[in-house]
Amino acid sequence: MSDMDAENSEREGGAKLWGGRFTSGGAGTNALMESFNASIRFDRRMWREDIQGSKAYATAISKVGVITPDECEQIQAGLDRVAADWEQDRFDILQSDEDIHTANERKLREYIGQVALKLHTGRSRNDQVSTDMRLWVRQRVAELRGYLVEFIGVCRKRAEEEIDVLMPGYTHLQRAQVVRWSHWVLSFAWPMKRYVEQLDEIAARVNVMSLGSGAIAGNAFGVDREALAEDLGFNGVTENSMDATGDRDFVAEFLMWSSLVMARLSKWAEDLLLFSSKEFNFVAIADQYSTGSSLMPQKKNADSLELIRGKAGRVFGHSCGFLMTLKGLPSTYCKDLQEDKEMLFDGMDTMHAIVQIASGVLATLTVDSEKMSSALSPDMLATDLAYYLVRKGVPFRDAHSLSGSAVALAEKSAIALSSLTVEQLKTISEVFEDDVRSVWNYTSSTEQYSSTGGTSRRAVQEQVDKLAAWLTSPAPR
């Protein structure tokens, strides 16, 4: 078939991959249905993966004699030309290009003629799209992993450099105990490490090839799937063709994982939004991650953090929405699964952007250690006062009560807890002695928490060192 014949056939609707069953003399597919059914506007971004899979499949069917070595060479060369069209932004998408598979095959046919029609032998768009998506996700997950590791590296660096900065720690958004700023920073590094490890597990499940499963029953031409998987860099093949064509667990799992990461980053963003407000002034967000007000010239808004917090809901929505798509489906492939791509693509794009923005915000913000220090108050040492009594033999429950009485006495006297005299404290318990004055030291307060995971200088440095070792360890393959 000449290029012109192929083009005319395309315009008439005769080149659809599924067109043989349908009459061509009637009105054809409803125009709105054509648009409703098509996915080319969003799945075109998988053009590279589709060509990669097709080239490997051409080699596989050549090995079993479905096509000759010369035909395989023609197909490979033709697919290279199709790839060049995409690379150079000159791929002409036609209205009848239903999806990326149809578009690429149509263009291949224009370049090499009838030989292109042999490429799809034994292959279905069901196993083809699943393979394309796995190839696409595999690459993007690897990139995302790098961004997460970068965020952890920024956390480690700041924690080590600012290890002596003290700040109030909060529970219920109320001042609780004295902690190191580094301890707060690292409280987000550790969950991110867990998320990287979870992502590695997801990546391993993604990296299983479904190509060769056909539409439902498998491949009828003896294609060596294990060799094909090795050619495409997969670690293995799917074990059941019915499962393979309808499986989108890897999409659902990625979206659920993304929701978990976003919930954590939303919490992180909320903390920094508070810390950067004038009421706190603990940190200043760099100008490059802030915006201004169209009305109030003095305003500097941390919109980067607000968008991180806001886009968490977007990612949650994709996860919930896709699970609702999956819940009512019968087994194997149904067209409902076309809904996976827009949610997956947007979720992946959102995660890529947000993790990079988060790293940038954290790397460039300025810490005001004096503001943090001035926010410390003696009442935050009430637990230390109870521990003082414990170390003198008082049971903790009694010590807790006695320290609470001291707090009440200070409030009644309108003075700071640390301003209570030994005589006043003795009215609460005779156990108090002159050495109680040693309690009123913020640095000493943090230093008592020296067990693993604590906020003492040594314990925090231990966290930094462990993360440094992990960051330099090789990533799993």
Give catalytic residues, as residue numbers.
172, 293
Residues 175 and 439 sit within 8 Å (Cβ to Cβ): no
Q: Tokens standing for 443?
A: 């640095």
Which residue, 295, 293, 211, 205, is CA-closest to 251?
205
Contacts of residue 136, defined as CB under 8 A and 6 or more positions apart, other chains included, come to 45, 46, 49
Backbone angles phi, psi at 284, to 5 degrees: -120, 125
- For residues 193 and 152, the answer to whether their CB atoms sit within 8 Å is yes
Q: Which residue has the tokens 């690429």?
A: 104
The helix, strand and coil proportions of the chain, stated in percent and rounded to the nearest 5, come to 65, 5, 30
Assess contact for 322 and 252: CB atoms under 8 A. Answer: yes
- DSSP β-bridge partners for residue 171: 174
The Cα 74–Cα 67 span in angstroms is 10
DSSP string, 411-446: HHTTS-GGG--HHHHHTT-TT--GGGGGG--HHHHH
What lies within 8 Å, CB to CB, of 41 at 6+ separation is none
How many other CB atoms are there within 10 angstroms of residue 432's CB atom? 23
In whole angstroms, what is the distance from residue 432 CA to residue 336 CA? Answer: 72
- What's the CA gap between 88 and 80, in Å, rounded? 12
Q: For the CA atoms of 58, 60, 65, 71, what is the dihedral angle to 10 degrees? A: 20
DSSP alpha helix (H) spans, 328-395? 340-364, 369-374, 382-390
Here the tokens at position 157 are 């660096």
Amino acid at 81: R
Residue 469 is encoded by which pair of tokens? 């070792």
Residue type (1 letter), 188:
F
